[in-house]
Structure 1
Amino acid sequence: MANSKFEYVKSFELPDTLLPNTWVVVRIDGRGFTKLCAKYNFEKPNDKRALDLMNAAAKAVMADLPEITIAYGISDEYSFVFHKSCTLFERRASKLVSTIVSTFTAHYIYSWSTYFPDAPLSPPLPSFDGRAVCYPSVQNLRDYMSWRQVDCHINNLYNTTFWALIQLGGVDNREAEQLLAGTVSGDKNEILFSRFHINYNNEPEMYKKGSVVFRDYELVEPGTHNAERDADALAEPLQHTKSQAEKDRKRRGKAPIVVQHLDIIKDDFWDRRPWLLSNKPGKVPKEP
């Protein structure tokens, strides 16, 4: 393209390359979803249709971007993890975040009618914002994922108890808030069981644990990657030729993407799925 006297404006673009050799997490959140939930009468405390829609959009994002290793979602948020070796968009934060946000939003709106066939969308339409954060070690990454899953449990237990008090106990919002003020998890479990005969342990796993999205390969026997040092060694990028790296990318693109509701805090989840940290594709499960 020929130069022009106007090209100087490019100098105003500032570099936003993310720190190399770090895990990149792009977390998106729904914008104004409290009003959206009210507008379309989402069920309380959880609307399975809405969560299934979030999961469908997340799966579509992972299918579009094989560079994503794992994603985790609760409520109206989703976290997408890029391996520390990822060079997509030269690791530019603006490109990574805008691509995730726009792709997710597009699929969310596209799939809306599948999950809400009797509630056609109208403006203002659903939208999401996003941010990118770098984590230097595997332990940092796992602690981030654990933080989100702990939040899922805390929030869901509160919301389950709160709405049980309203829907089954006949109190209003303010009374429910006052009854739950200062309570711990044991207190909430006791309220659910003694007053409403609800055993929180029997609630659906998706509500208690959130949703984990990843490429499914054959599980391996738990290894010895429990120590931070060993996990970080597993995550070190392998020295591949460009052709081998492209083959791995294509293999990841062909692997089945699954949504499961598992404990990602304990070591077992990661030990049995070493590809999540190594970024090296595993063996595709045999069809039954």
Structure 2
Amino acid sequence: MCPRHKKVGVVGLLTTSRYEYVKAFEQPDILLPNTWIVVRIDGRGFHKLSDHYVFKKPNDLRALDLMNAAAVEVMKDLPDLCIAYGVSDEFSFVFHPSCQLFERRNAKLVTTIVSTFTAHYIHQWGTYFPSTPLQPPYLPSFDGRAVIYPTTRILRDYMSWRQVDCHINNLYNTTFWTMVLQGGMSNTDAEQELKGTVSSDKNEILFKRFGINYNNELEIYKKGSVLYRQYELQTPNSAQTPTEEDTSVPESTQSRSQQDKLRKLRRKAQVVVDHVDIIKDEFWERRPWILSNKPGKLPA
């Protein structure tokens, strides 16, 4: 397919088509400047998809690794991203307040991430599910939305919320499916017994009935997956934690060459997949480059 070209008049000037008035119907969708942008994607119809391809319950490590592999490629493709967090069939990708990618246009940011993620998810499916090739109509697709957060504190609260949600859902699902698959209970009976229970109740059910210590479950199941660029870890020190001023300097004040240089430095860093606590300060203090958006020193 050839790229589109505008019509050029005989004197070399661009002419205006009589149909070009339709461009006036396009509405601007620029996201507020100097705010954190979180593009969150979710799988569409993944209950049916996971049933069709017989995902293991309560967690299928192959499916989670596939999600992470696709997310890593998104991070590599978009060096403007500073961190991402994933659990189950969702992923949150975070742009720093200084980001000027696509002039901060909502639709461009969301569609680029959704389409890039979906393309890599489908491309790598066979690596993780070699014996079950994709077949219509059970094809993976994702939707997405962009939300802006005005401060670093609120951005961190958002990330904490997703990790807490991961723990709550995983503990419930682990208990529920253990009761069904190992305990022989019906779905309805298991749901009924778990209604109104708290974390300690579920832990007790797992341990006393099935000899399962929830603390020994894989960290990826309990904490989800955190993706970021790896530089040399810093010694925890509150003085190293970026302030709101540090994280709100517009990148637009930098020259184009400076912005390009920063992107090249970020591309050199390895994107790692971690399963750690992102609620406590230590994670952020040891990785100040995430909030400051300033590349650190590459590991030796």
Q: Structure 2 length normalisation: TM-score?
A: 0.93
Specify the SS of the correspondent of 1:258. Answer: strand
Question: Is 1:231 aligned with 2:273?
Answer: no
Q: How does 1:182-201 map to 2 (within 5 A)?
A: 182-201=196-215
Are the counterparts in 2 of residues 226 and 267 from structure 1 also a CA contact under 8 Å? Answer: no
Specify the SS of the correspondent of 1:44. Answer: coil
Specify the SS of the correspondent of 1:27. Answer: strand
* Aligned equivalent of 1:48: 61
The letter of the residue matching 1:233 is: E
Shift, 1:248, TM fit = 1.1
Any stretches of 5+ residues in structure 2 without a counterpart? 1-5, 7-14
The letter of the residue matching 2:197 is: T
Provide, for residues 9-31 of structure 1, a one-character-per-residue CA deviation record: whole Å limited to 9, x for no partner.
Answer: 00000000001110000000000
Specify the SS of the correspondent of 1:35. Answer: helix
* Aligned with residue 89 of structure 1, among 70, 92, 102: 102
Question: Is 1:154 aligned with 2:180?
Answer: no
Q: When the two structures are aligned, how many residues end up with a matched partner?
A: 284
RMSD between aligned alpha carbons? 1.2
Are the counterparts in 1 of residues 240 and 288 from structure 2 also a CA contact under 8 Å? Answer: no
The letter of the residue matching 1:135 is: Y
The letter of the residue matching 1:176 is: A
Specify the SS of the correspondent of 1:25. Answer: strand
Any stretches of 5+ residues in structure 1 without a counterpart? none
Question: Is 1:72 aligned with 2:85?
Answer: yes
Shift, 1:254, TM fit = 1.2
Q: Structure 1 length normalisation: TM-score?
A: 0.96
* Aligned equivalent of 2:186: 172
* Aligned equivalent of 2:52: 39
Provide, for residues 53-80 of structure 1, a one-character-per-residue CA deviation record: whole Å limited to 9, x for no partner.
Answer: 0000000000000000000000000000
Which whole-Å CA distance do the structure 2 matches of 1:94 and 1:23 have between them? Answer: 16
Are the counterparts in 2 of residues 69 and 83 from structure 1 also a CA contact under 8 Å? Answer: yes
Which whole-Å CA distance do the structure 1 matches of 2:32 and 2:245 have between them? Answer: 19
Change (3 A) 1:224 1:259: same
Name the stretch that deviates more: 129-138 or 240-249. Answer: 240-249
Larger radius of gyration: 2
* Aligned equivalent of 2:116: 103
* Aligned equivalent of 1:142: 156
Which whole-Å CA distance do the structure 1 matches of 2:22 and 2:151 have between them? Answer: 38
